[in-house]
Structure 1
């Protein structure tokens, strides 16, 4: 554990950020799971709605710096590709 006052503060801040980031990452995983399950069921409308919700959540996470912007773009692209298999 840190000994200096500034190092203790930095450790405290890091822990707070870690907890905040963890909730956002969990939310991303859950919304991706919703989209994938909708596609597996074959529900076009539900999958499209879930995809829009997922895009928003993933983009916000990238904007906040929780995930890298290219990671967010890749996730969105792959989900959209998955949803488009229903229409084709």
Structure 2
């Protein structure tokens, strides 16, 4: 158990951040699943900038690693180009 008031506050903040990060990460995974299952090239191309900005935002906030973000964007662009 924490002995200081600041430690108790930190525990609360960490839990709130953990829940927020988990929600954002799960949202990104759902959007990735949606764009990967897309078979219409036009629809995938219109969804692509939204997905890329979401990935970049998560990488900037260290929710996902920067290299993982680059790999995801690269694979998505290849897949959309192949449609």
User: Scaled by the length of structure 1, what TM-score is found?
Assistant: 0.83
Is the 8 Å Cα contact of residues 2 and 8 (structure 1) preserved in structure 2? yes
Shift of 1:2: 2.6
In 2, distance between residues paired with 1:6 and 1:22?
Answer: 24
Shift of 1:70: 1.3
Match of 2:60 among 41, 63, 72: 63
In 2, distance between residues paired with 1:3 and 1:81?
Answer: 53
Q: Which residue of 1 aligns with 2:50?
A: 53
Q: Which residue of 2 aligns with 1:30?
A: 30
Runs of 4+ residues deviating >6 angstroms: none
User: Scaled by the length of structure 2, what TM-score is found?
Assistant: 0.87
